[in-house]
């Protein structure tokens, strides 16, 4: 096995750096969810993390390792929202400048929060401009250190602390379901699972419209796609990273996909039955459990709810039909 970008010791070190800074988020249970999936589900509630998403872990872990010159110059990142907020808050906590490149159609709540944490926001068109090129040009011009949203060892290690905490709290699991965009969260979590419980089945979940990871693992090389049109804005990535891909190749058992309609239905279930406000991307793993895509019957399962940053008006629009259906079923029951 070739040397990967991170190992379990890197995650343990990240967990120490985050101690007392990141929230140790709770693990939620639901008898209704168990009955629906035919499994015993453990929901790792990263939508209750600082900035409303797991991304804070990786962002803080990366910035905490800056040297003096990097701290003086500042940091730059590109993100649809959650990584943006993570870097903005982490930079504020370290007293350094942050510049964030964000798509102009990112949820308004995410743009506002990023600015609220003190970052300078540069907007771009995700369908006509390349965020990586823009970010690297700004980094070079202003001497900023670029922290990409997933393809960075310190980011990957920080995200792996999600799984470390989950296993610390609930012990061994038969299957771990993790949302998948660029692979930072999944690569970190898979690293932990393989080290702690080698028999645990690791499944990544991405939107149907953006199944580049599924295709990449099937072909044995990174497959790039056009920006997928999906409500899961945190998973609108075009390709896996050169660092995340080898980890997924060696550690992940399967990639499954879910539709936008299934994400909406899952959002409705989580808010209606479990009283948890979770954004579309954050629902990817739960949707795979509820649709049966991951084959979980009789298993103990970990599910990462990765984020909760969604515009409330948009959320209401998305789940309005689902909410009516849920109410109807409740009365029929």
Q: Write out the E strands in 139-183.
A: 145-146, 175-179
Tell me which H or E stretch contains 110. helix 108-116
Q: Among the three residues 128, 146, 164, which one is the final residue of a domain in this structure?
A: 146
With beta carbons less than 8 A apart as the criterion, state whether 168 and 194 touch: no
* Nearest residue to 329 (alpha-carbon basis) of 32, 17, 11: 32
Map tokens 């610390």 to a residue. Answer: 168
Query: Looking at the structure, do residues 316 and 193 belong to the same domain, yes or no?
Result: yes
Residue 227 and residue 81 share a domain: no
Say whether both 118 and 180 belong to one domain: no
Total number of domains constituting the chain? 2
CATH at residue 231:
3.40.50.1100
Query: Stretch 50-74: mean pLDDT, rounded?
Result: 97
Region of residue 25 (phi > 0: left; psi between -120 and 50: alpha; otherwise: beta): beta
Q: Quick: pLDDT tens for 125-156.
A: 978 888 889 999 999 999 999 999 999 999 99
What pLDDT score was predicted for residue 332? 39
Distances in Å between the Cα of 198 and the Cα atoms of 78, 96, 169, 185, 209 are 34, 40, 18, 18, 31
CA distance 160 to 183: 11
Rounded CA separation 13/21 (Å): 14
DSSP 204-222: EEEEGGG-HHHHHHHHTS-
The pLDDT assigned to 331 comes to: 32
The answer to whether the beta carbons of residues 213 and 179 sit under 8 Å apart is no
Residue 63 has pLDDT above 60, yes or no: yes
Nearest-angstrom CA–CA distance, 325 and 24: 34
pLDDT score recorded for residue 73: 97
pLDDT over 90 at 227, yes or no: no
Residue 2 lies inside a defined structural domain of this protein: no
pTM of the entire predicted model: 0.93
Domain that holds residue 243: 8-52+152-327
Does 333 map to a domain?
A: no
User: Do 311 and 272 sit in the same domain of this protein?
Assistant: yes
Q: Which residues are catalytic?
A: 55, 80, 206, 210, 212, 306
Same-domain pairing of 141 and 17: no
Tokens of 190: 């898979």
* Residues in contact with 263: Cβ distance below 8 Å, sequence separation at least 6, in sequence order: 207, 231, 232, 280, 283, 284, 287
Position 2 scores a pLDDT of 58
Q: Residue range 217-232: average pLDDT? A: 95
Cα dist. 303→16, 17, 205, 269, 286 in Å?
23, 24, 10, 15, 6
């Amino acid at each position: 096995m070739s040397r990967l970008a991170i190992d379990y010791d890197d995650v343990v070190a990240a967990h120490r750096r985050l101690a007392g800074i990141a929230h140790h988020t709770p693990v939620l249970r639901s008898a209704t969810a168990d009955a629906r999936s035919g499994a015993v589900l453990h929901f790792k509630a990263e939508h209750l993390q600082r900035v409303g998403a797991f991304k804070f872990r990786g962002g803080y872990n990366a910035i905490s390792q800056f040297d003096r010159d990097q701290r003086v110059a500042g940091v730059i990142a590109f993100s649809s929202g959650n990584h943006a907020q993570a870097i903005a808050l982490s930079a504020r906590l370290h007293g350094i400048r942050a510049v964030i490149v964000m798509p102009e159609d990112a949820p308004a709540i995410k743009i506002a929060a990023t600015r609220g944490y003190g970052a300078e926001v540069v907007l771009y068109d995700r369908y006509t401009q390349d965020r990586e090129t823009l970010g690297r040009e700004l980094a070079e011009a202003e001497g900023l250190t670029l922290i990409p949203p997933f393809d960075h060892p310190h980011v990957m290690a920080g995200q792996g602390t999600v799984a470390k905490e989950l296993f610390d709290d609930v012990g061994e699991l038969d299957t771990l379901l993790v949302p998948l965009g660029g692979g930072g969260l999944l690569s970190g979590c898979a690293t932990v699972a393989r080290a702690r419980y080698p028999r645990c089945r690791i499944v990544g979940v991405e939107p149907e419209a953006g199944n580049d990871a599924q295709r990449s693992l099937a072909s044995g090389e990174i497959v790039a796609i056009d920006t997928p049109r999906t409500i899961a804005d945190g998973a609108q990535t075009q390709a896996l990273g050169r660092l995340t891909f080898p980890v997924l190749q060696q550690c992940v058992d399967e990639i499954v996909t879910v539709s936008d309609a299934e994400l909406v239905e899952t959002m409705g279930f989580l808010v209606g039955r479990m009283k948890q406000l979770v954004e579309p991307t954050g629902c990817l793993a739960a949707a795979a459990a509820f649709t049966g895509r991951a084959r979980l019957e009789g298993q103990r399962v970990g599910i990462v709810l990765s984020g909760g940053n969604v515009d409330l008006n948009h959320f209401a629009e998305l789940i309005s039909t689902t909410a009516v259906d849920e109410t109807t079923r409740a009365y029929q029951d």
